A and B are shown apart, each in its own frame.
Chain A
Amino acid sequence: MSDTVATAASAGVMAGFAELRRVAIVPALNEEVAIASVVDELRAFDPGLDVVVVDDGSVDRTAAVATARGARVLRLPFNLGIGGAVQTGFRYAFEHGYDIAVRVDGDGQHDPSQLPFVLEPLLRGDADIVVGSRFAGDRYGYRSSRTRRVGIRLLAWVVSRIVGQRVTDTTSGFQALNREGIALFARDYPHDYPEVEATVMVFRHRLRLREVPVSMRERGGGRSSITTLRSVYYMVKVLLAIFVGLFRRNVVPQEDAR
């Protein structure tokens, strides 16, 4: 395991970690190439971490590969889109009484060795939701198309202005949530390009969101589901959703009957 885990453990931050019920939610669409190593790495990082792969209507062997690697697989009967898929995972985590959920994409771009950075503020009790950001700090390992970078920056700027806290990466799916965060997203989670709206939602519910710098890898396999034209469409849709959402009454998070 990496030095960071050891450092964090010696600092006592990870001390209570082993007692917590924790789950990794891995949304995957046609990731038969990448999913095996994603599941393996998560289990290697923390054998006590339950890995739940949400197969969002894949037409390849994603579900079979994930099952063979020891992950629990939720097979959606058809493609729900990333928002619906991820929320399935949050519902699972909520209903099964997990204390902590981490969200890791099924394409391998999120490196489980970076999880200690994302978990640390959560375990210290400093945040309800922690987002691994490619742009916070100087660990800048992320390359992407120009259009997407501009889009990500623009959304980050808009969201920062709305929530009154600097947010650098509103499209990152590398996250860790505590029970409050899980309860909120189990009840209400946006569709299609959900992280941006979800960020605003988190602040409106007065949950504490923290960003930590992480580096991300190139995608392990498969293809990104987001093309340039779709990026523009999503951008318009997400901006509309954010602005209309500002005038919306808050939903009540799922009642915790645990």
Chain B
Amino acid sequence: MTPLAVSIVGAIASFTLVVVVLELIRSHRLRERYALLWIATGLTLTALSAWRSGLNTIAGWLGVRSYPPAVLFAVGILFILAVLLHYSTVISRLSDQNVLLAQRLALLEERLDEDATG
């Protein structure tokens, strides 16, 4: 069984994550689109931390007998990987758009210069 202290600290930490994410959305510092994965992470980890017998059962399915909280870490790591991968796609899109913006700007400036001189 998971040590009680691990469950309590895990639940508090994960729930804090959810609250922080909601506050970031509220203050316009985080867009909903990028917050959904974080909220899913926070809620899942909160649930797994607080629902001690559930974590035990899931650990049993996965063959983790010695230390059920290992499942908590595994799930946490999976979610973090998902968030990072998501960010990689977002960064890729942003850099593509950035290239396009720079090119459009250069073309526009050239057109303005042409109007001014010609």
* Same complex: yes
Q: Which residues of B contact A240 (CB under 8 A)?
A: 25, 32, 35-36, 39
Of all chain A residues, which has the CB nearest B22? A244
Closest chain A CB from B78 CB (angstroms): 20
B residues 17-55 touching A (CB-CB < 8 Å): 22, 25-28, 31-33, 35-36, 39
How many residues of chain A get a CB closer than 8 Å to chain B's CBs?
12
Question: Within 8 Å of chain B (Cβ to Cβ): is A258?
Answer: no
A237→B25 contact, CB < 8 A: no
Q: Does B104 lie within 8 Å of A244, measured CB to CB?
A: no
Q: How many A-B residue pairs have CB under 8 A?
A: 30
Assess whether B97 is interfacial by the CB under 8 Å rule: yes
> Which A residues lie within 8 Å of B101 (CB)?
77
B80 at the interface (CB under 8 A from A): no
Contacts of A247 in B (CB 8 A): 26
Asked whether A77 lies within 8 Å of B104 as measured between CB atoms, the reply is yes
Contacts known (A77-B100, A77-B104); A237 close to B26, Cβ less than 8 A: no
Evaluate contact between B31 and A78: CB separation under 8 angstroms.
Answer: no
Chain A residues numbered 218-258 whose CB sits less than 8 Å from any CB in chain B: 236-237, 240-241, 244-245, 247-248
CB-defined contacts of B36 to chain A, threshold 8 Å: 236-237, 240
Residue A192 interfacial (CB < 8 Å): yes
* CB nearest to B103 among chain A residues: A77
Q: Please, could you name 11 A-B residue pairs with CB atoms under 8 Å apart, sorted by A?
A: A77-B97, A77-B104, A78-B100, A240-B36, A241-B32, A244-B22, A244-B25, A244-B32, A245-B26, A248-B26, A248-B27
